[in-house]
Structure 1
Amino acid sequence: MALLSAPQPAAANTGPVMIGDFEHGTDPWFPVTTGGATATLTTTTDTPAGGTAAARLQANAPSGTVEMARAVPSLDLRRLDLSVRSAQLTGLVLRLVDSTGQAHQQTLALSPGTQWQQLSVTTFAGGTQYIHWGGANDGVWHGPLTQISLLIDAFRISPGPAVTLDVDDVIAQGPPPPLAIRPTTLGNAFTTGDPVSFGVDTAATSLNWSARDAYGAIVAAGSGTPAQLGNTISLGTLGTGWYTVDIAAVQPDGTTANGGTDVSVLPATTLRERRIGAATHYGQRWPTASAPLLGKAGLGFARDEAYWSEVERVKGTYTFPTRVENATAALRANDVDFLQVLDYGNALYHQGEAPATDEGRAGFAGYAQASVDHFGTTRAAYEVWNEWNIRDVNGPAGATPQNYVALLAATATKVKATHPDATLAGPALAPMNEWQGWLDGFISAGGLDHIDAFSTHPYNFTAEPEAFRTHVAILRQKFAAAGHPDMPIWFTEQGWYTTQNPPGVAPGVQARNLARAQLLSLGDGIGRYTVYDFKDDGTNPADAEHNFGMIRNEADARGAYAPKPAFTAAGVLTRQTAERPVREVLSLGTGRYGVEFGPRTGEAADTRMQALWALTPQTWSVQATGPVTVTNLYGGTTVLEPDADGRVHVSVGAEPIYLQGALGQVATASPFSLAVTGAVGGSAPDATWHIANTGRSPRTLSLVSDGLTTQATVPAGAAQDIAAALAPAEVGQRTWTAVVREAGHAIGVLTAAAQVVPALQLTGEHALSAAGADVLRLKVLNRNTHAVRLDGVTWTVGASKGTVLTDAQVAGGATAVQDVPLTTFGAWSATVSGPATDTASGVVVAANSLAVDVPYQRVKVDGVADRVLEKLPAQPLGKDEQLITGWKGPQDLSGSLWITHDGSRLYLTAQIIDDVQAQPARDAAIWQGDSLQLGSSPGWPGEGGRPVGEVGTALTDAGPVDLTRWLPVSGGTDGITTMVKRDEKTKTTTYELAATWAALGVDPANRIMAATIAINDNDGSGRRGWSTWGKGVAESKDPNLFHALRLMPPGGDEVDLSTQARTVCLPSGGAVAIDVTNRELVPAGVRITTPWGIKEFRDVPPGRQVSQTFTTRSGSLPAGKATVDGSVVAASGRPSYQVRQVPYPPINCP
């Protein structure tokens, strides 16, 4: 957006923000049509209302609607002004979307004519023909504005159906925002050597800002009033890299609005990596304004759509939508190729999404041919459908491979007849559910005969990015067996989303995961790699689909199209790999990776580019015969020269690095390493430089980092650990880089990463006291070597507030702990003050009625349920817990769970009745067969506890018991033990698992955690579903759906309950009535379990009897037993339990 006049910092009056002057085109406005309408959105110089151009929306609307719309970066709208002109329209519909997603729609009257009409709107939740929907859906305007649409209805065109609408000077009036980012360079994507700056719109009286590189080092800082700064923050000239800018805007009332943005700096290039592209949605509703950023990232193609139903609105007539034409023109202008997904259905030929008839297939083939006719074959390729194997499963085509191959054959025959050089890919496989069986059917039906490349989407959010190699190995084995050993493979979707909820990842992890996946896919011969996707689809931080992008959404508070780290990392990678042939994937051992590329045209024949990374930090040495340029993930470079042994030395870790020069063998060892073992904010970190001199002469070396130098002389044959001088850092994640120099030459570049922590650190956790009361447990850790005296810790929970630890003295290295009783729940915050300050915040949630007490009981993990569990309440897996297709009753899948704990571990025992045992998968794929999954997190559901864990165990068909951990990714299984045994005679599988508290990341002293358990079922023909105790693992990854668990202290005597069972005849048949009396002096919990249902009674008063009658709907009822569980908790917090089998007599009812 462009600011017409800068608001004064302290001004209270409104100021104009231009959201549509159309001087440089129509972006980010875009056209939308419904029904039978068509439209184009362009600009016109025909007497605009202001400036030199206006927007022109030309439509043909015999029915339906046409609109021009755009997203808005959160404007506090008070008045909307716009100029419009139309000779045919009698009214214009205005639709505004507020911050809740609620659409507010009204009609603005127009007088048809050739003159401009000035419209002004100040009522947004009202007006003529006002309606509202979505979001809050309460008919109340909830600012700020997030989207605007100008809409034409067919019945308001006179005469029709053709109409032209000109629009100009769309201006939003409102007070200056507390802080808004206004990029003045598209997407804050700068070229190396250019000054870096961006605009800010703010009501602030002063601004303070600092910029950090991707590794936490401050590279620029400043302050000033908005007037002094000209509403622009300038960072000067920055080196190649990704940077984040933090801004504090002090408001006229003294409060501070915090915000920021991100910038990317990349070298200018005309290179495009044709093997790597990104998914875009310009064919849907993305504005094309972001298209130049594809080129800046060096991406070679965009995967996008031109939907069949929009291209062919009349049988045999093919017209490509304006937004598609505009998008493909923008791609060509930026030297980006087009990979068109040919999709989806068309009601002209069939109902439902996927074609299942010859007529539908023929129609689709005609659309495919028209696409190739239109976009050609030199700069475009085509993918037939998208994820057929999981889409429209219940439609006429049934998502079957046979129906897909029939569509594919019709399409290939039609297209290849006129365009034999066209490249067709398919089936855009989604490798989930029973994908291998689907693929076998696809191959058997001849699918490989009709494609030029096999496309697949190997998402795996709970594994390292290299995990795709297992998938590719399966594909290649199947292709070879089918006589197609050389079938090219394309990844047409893969990505990671950046949400805080697992399995979302941090933006930096997204960047490194994409880089590793792309490099290894190139090395393994994958023909194309497509990032899903290029731009965030929205701004909801919890929505996965809103956070896949390499750049941010146009309405993002951090600035329209602002770069995420993945954008810069992609730009660096493509500049390294473009036009380089792959030589080999280096064989470096488990957890170590390297891909070697050859020279570009014009480079020396011995030039090599090696991309190196490892799952754990290490230092490697590489042979070289000349200078070597080392480039990190974000483009920072260091030039090294070989040492006397002809080697350069580099730190290698989870982020790929790039070495370019005359390179030779890579050795996964080096005489040098750098490690940081502790880092406190504002102080130099504890760092160690390790040197191993294996030579016959002493070595004199220096280590240079941020202007600090450490000298060392190491005798021949000796190894030394030297205290390294590294610069102090502020609190947060920081990576230090240091150069090793010898004899005046740089021979190595070392890195070390650490979390820089505050000297005085405050944390808060929800906990239970010894008596079981809810508390906020505040802890102050003094990392100084000397004692400190606190002024105190102020806290707020909801409307409650107070101060604790006043004048408390905390010894060096010690922790002060204070419990704050919770009388209310919700958001909390706390601040410690003293020699230093620190803040903490979070959410505390009250346990609901489903919270479960976890008894204190150790269990032997041997695959046999301990007898002691018979005295403890079990969690049943009955009918209500089944999410299994065609579940046939308890004998199909049912069972009982026991969760217990002691001071060192959490224990899980599951006795599962399962008529068929089947587990064909291994390791991380065991969820596809009979298996158990445990999800866990600290705190209670809804409190955002971290880490979120997910582990699984299974008895495999191959024989071994497999234990795997999906979350945290690469968390490992240290501290977790398991055993699974199957009794085929009783059709019972017993799972046992124990996990240390450290492995779970749970502090047992807090006495609370959250968990969920899923039992997957496979009867030999694929995963049928699962039985679930709690949710948040199998159906979605959402720890908010876990069960709340209370960790109970050791128990006392059995609960004193009296029980009685009776059988009676009711009109519906026999019934079992159970009576339970609480004979304790405190309230008791009672649960009655029968084959016909479960009934729980909470807090049964002393002396009170509870009863429940279970109807069987059977006239004849044999003798049996019901299970009665009882539990009480004494005032001291000590629990007691009882589990009793209560027999009931037979009965025959007439």
Structure 2
Amino acid sequence: MKSRLVSYAVVMFAGFLGSALGADTLVQMGDFSKDNNGWEFSPGAEFPGAKGVLRREQDGVGVGYMKLSADFSGGGNYIAMSKNLKTSLELEELIITVKGTAPAFWLRLSDSTGQTFQQSFPIDSASQEWQKFSIREFGNPARKDILCFGGANDGIWRGTVSHIAIILHSSNVKTARDTILIRSVEMKTGAAATDNSGLKTVVLADFTQEEKDWTLSLGSEFPGAKGEKRVEEFADGFVKKVLRLSADFSGGGRYVALGRSFAQPLSVDELSFKVRGSLSEFGLRVSDGQGQTFQQNVKLDTANNGWQTIVIKEFGNPQRKDIFHWGGANDGIWRNPMKSAWIMINAPGKADANSLYIAKIEAKSKGFLAALEPMGAPLEFYLTPDLPAILSWTAKGPVSESELAYEIVSYEGEFVSKGMAVLDETAGQISIDVKLPQGYYEVIFRKLAYQSFGLVVLPKHETARDDFWGVDGAFGYFPVGGKKELRTSYFAVLARCGIGMQRERIGFSVDATEKGDVKCEGEGKGIRDDAASQGISILECFCAFGDEKRKPNPYPTTLKGMPKNWENIKLGFGRAWGGTEVWNEPDLFAGGMIPGDRYVALLRSACYLADASGAGNPMGGGVFNHVKKSTFDTYAINGLLDNSDFFAYHDYYPPERAEGLIWQYREWCKEYGRPSIPFWMTEAGSGWTVGPPRPPKNEAAISASEIVAKAIECRACGNARHFAFLLIYFDENKINWGMHGKENTPLRSMGAYAAAVKNLSHAKYVGDLKTTDPQIKRARVFAAPKGDGAVVVVYTGKPATKTSVELGVLPLKIQGIDGRSLPMGTDGKVPVPDGLSFIFVKLSDIESILDRNTKAAEMSLVAAQNPGRRMTSSPLVLLPDADISQVTYSPLGYAPKDDASCTMSAKLCNLSASEKSFVLKAELPNGAHLLEGNELVKGSLPAGSEQILSWKLDLSKALGGRGKFVDVCVKSPDDPNFKWVMRFINSEKITARKLKDGDGSVSPEMIPKNDGWRAIGADDYVPIEYVILYDGKTKAWARCTWQPKQLNVDVLVEDESFTQNFDGESMWRGDSVQLAFQTPSDKDGRPSAGFTELSVALTKKGPQLYRHHAQGSKKAGLLDATSFVKIVQKGNRTLYTLRLPVEQFDLPELKAGMKLRFSLLINCNDGRARVGYLRWGDGIAGTKAPAEYCKMELVE
């Protein structure tokens, strides 16, 4: 009875809202008190095999319900209970009450166009309570989780519902048989459905203003035509401006056309053209929603010298031979929507008659839905709590009265209110009045294709800004940068939210850098000036983004232009200049994956020149995405930290890993004498699936919780600054990183980040709350800057749930992630519905359960100590000068082609305005000989000049160790901050013997000894998480042998537990083996560019072999494992035997004396995740770097 009372309360509340905002009608679609209420069983006959039963039952107190049971043991796809509505209803909300053993049910609805929509809802199958689902969104093209088919097939829900089905799907059952019970189906309807047969008129072009969407085509597939489009004055009393389309076929060609593609395909019932000219006809080419193109000739009245209005109502008809068609379905049947339209002048024609004047182009459409453009966004969509405000939109086309209906939902997507927008037809604008409490909201126009707009309702930040909070804007790389009003609005948003710094990029090519031609004017300067006008400072990222032609070395090869560049930066960008980080993710592709000595040389030059300019702003180095310790070392030994005011890095891992990552970096910085250097996380994002203008609610909630939780972690661990990524809408490959939608209104992530700024500005981390609730991943405590107040930030990592936790303290108040007020649970638990909540308490009340001795507190204390300053920058810089395309390298260092003859070459650059003398000394490692050049080099260098210095060394005795590096250092006795360290990779040298007949037998029981076997154990273990150490439980032995036509690899793994739940490309995540090899040079003797990398595993589908990379022409993908692989398990041992034919794996015929590069690793999964790997060689995990492979020689 408890559930029924709750239902009645909901209905009564809804009724109250209905009387206030417009009548809603509650329609009972099934209470099942007496019969089936017209619901019928469907076995999903289009997918034969499913069986099931639908019958009415009742509980012990006489409450009826429907029981839907499925049996998929014989196949099939789904079963359903469904109902056809005799009268179509205008659906507002659907309320379904269910329970059952199935983990989910599907809902299928059909709208007035015959389009069907389908979405799933999870059931708590462990609960015996009735569960109520309130569904208000039935179709939305932005939501990939709502499937659609049939009818208009565009994902847009239109008005009325004609069919409803509740489905049990075979993919959502725990066993072949499952059941759900349906107690009631209720429907809230609005006004009766109206006849929507009227056509809306949409102006596609009237040429009174520039129509950029309409472009000229000269029919390039038939070369020779000439033509132009030109807007002309045409004051004849009817029109003032027209477009003149003209063609000249004297040089050939077939047509000239004016046309456009529709960014949002338009359902078109009629097209009309207001035209005049001396042509007898013009061509019309249109394409439909399935890619079929239609073309017809449209006759003109040649006797009429005035304006003619031509109306086209038929775009395709298989019975009409005068309408040509091709592409798509190619059946002559037109299928809306229209994707493009072109007006054509066709050849041949009279030279003086090849002109057409076009005054207006209009479409008439039943299905047209106007796009809404928010006015004053984004700033006008940030509101003050409990104060009235007006929100306005420009409507891009006609809007009907019923389409003015809107509703407002909360952060959780719960209904808040609804109303009718006010239409100003003259201005083409609509507006609504709002007054909302603190929190995040969305305004949704359901009848305009669910167009949604975010609202952040928080007080304006009035106090001094906390330097910690920043965002990455990247305005210079997106259209927002060229729109002054829009970018100024974004900067005003940051100021309102209390965010004081935005990250930007100094855009340039490497060529421009070398020439001193980095531009800091025009749009770029405008961005900085507008930022300064709002009190926003800019973190400049100095990097040549996307300069592909300069790879493999993306850095400047001369520094002669650098002084002029930094003069330009200060002059153009100095007004908002708040700091600089040098390059972006040099450890990844933006840095060419080359060793860090080249990067640090650039950093040194930037520091000196920034100081010389008098800017006085902090300079940052690193900007790593995620580096291995050995890679970091290569940068650090060259002076990375000595030449940085702050250490910059990026983090795209889950928030729980942030503390470990910061700890790792702190330890590394401590090793190099800068334990307290300020940390700036300059990119920290959590994206959502590309495609829609705004993310689905569940993805938006995950993005918001991870972005905020990561900022909280960084604050707790003592980071100095944090930049959330990315302020604006940005599609990158499969992920959108935006914190605002495509329409420039805020997403949940921005609302949550703004609430975090409000709640935690100037607060100090003091420890963690001691909790026993396993749902809590973090409970960070921040003390208010004054008084006894504190905020506990509870993070569960489970957004969009009804989670509540035991906290052991009585809060003063509770806020959701967006700052909205949350009530305490009746059971005394604290709600955390968004994955993160702000709990306000008295610090004195929690002292007994406050852990002040956390790892984060330790790091925060270290970070608060005197960070020291970077060393004084030298005007002399050694810029490595070797041709990177001629050497083998990785981010760790260089792999010499000949150990006995290694060349070091660099340009000594004088960045100052005066001549400088120098004394340089080359420090050689033990066993190294200098073949050419001098250990001590003296001289002088004129201002702004460069001099090439080189040394040739014999490192054959210095190299040859296992797992070590060999460093050659050039220093200046006169300048402690002058050094260049060229690090050589000391690859393990191994041999592979020829496998002779009869000695290739291996077994899981064997005890490998010598004979080419290599033991792989503790010294070769690499953890994935930096806190998971080698447990000694996994051991391995491996060997590599050869035959002329075949490379052989045997790997024996001993592991207490075997876990492999993956297959195909992802099998490396489970227990598996990966191996890689590379021939050392191409046919021209240059270092090989490619490599072959394979994974092999015993999956649940059997042995599999996957090729990730191929050195030659072979393609990536699954291979026939039975031809190349044998995997045998016995006890806790797994034996992998690989026999790889040379012709199948891009290898030459093998022979004694041949040298290859070879690497192998054994992935370790502890049953929860891949925690580490054992390696023989390196260069597979993390970086794909053959320079780190073992050097293997084939022997008899």
Looking at CA atoms only, which structure, 1 or 2, has the larger radius of gyration?
2
Q: What's the TM-score bracket when you normalise by the shorter of the two chains? A: 0.3 to 0.5
TM-score (norm 2): 0.43
TM-score (norm 1): 0.45
